[in-house]
Amino acid sequence: MSDAPTRVDLHVKVLDERVVERAAEAGVDTLVYAPHFTRLPEIRARSRRYSTDEVTVVPAREVFTGDWRNRRHLLALGLSEPVPDFVTYEAALAEFERQEAAVLVPHPEFMNVSLTRAEVSAYRNRLHAVETYNAKLFARQNERGVRISNAFDVPGFGSSYAHLRGTVGAAWTEFEDDVRDEEALVAALRDRVERTVVKRSDPATRARRLAEFAHLGIENSYGKLDRLFLSGMEPTHPRHIAYRGRFDEVSVY
């Protein structure tokens, strides 16, 4: 076990060889890979495929709870069984707890896709971390996360939230202990061990933030239309055959 701190980018959406190379160049030891609308077995397989001696890729799921108008995203690490999108918030949280996953709050109070301050307050004892720095967001948006984390004594975390390869390495969460593998990282998050959020603020990083925001606009316009009307049933829809009816009663669609 290494005595050096572990740098963990706790949320990325993109993964390939170049992403892992960029992480290694930035000194990031672990990437948490949680793509949208992708089932856990596929995420696990890709995580194994791209893990290297230098960079470990940990699989995770950012679950869309609720319907499209009332989404509340939760980031879960350490899942042993798949959990679909579009189930009620309570059902998703109960399933995470049953599997003893670490439950994180990405981008709090961002648009209509995040937990609000009041919701973090109400569920503070069932949540393990709140995002206090997201490289895709601007200062005032990240400051909301810091205030929420401080107000309710829920530890913070930082991530690149990279949807584009170039954003990897823009931010990470640093732990003093070796938490490179999934089990150790989940335990550290659930135990709320101390950590430091590190971010880059050079001109290139600021430029990438603008590129990420442009990508967000595309994703939330044509991308959403495609999801709603053109693609058919998502692999993570709770009524998909893969879930064998387990979540039919808590499905919002």
pLDDT tens, position by position, 35-63: 999 999 999 999 999 999 999 999 999 99
Domain covering 6-250: architecture: Alpha-Beta Barrel (3.20)
For the CA atoms of 218, 215, 159, 143, what is the dihedral angle to 10 degrees? -80
Angstrom distance (rounded) from CA 251 to CA 233? 13
pTM listed for this prediction: 0.91
Q: Are strands 72-77 and 56-65 parallel, antiparallel or unpaired?
A: antiparallel
pLDDT tens figures, 67-121: 988 889 999 999 999 999 999 999 999 999 999 999 999 999 998 889 999 999 9
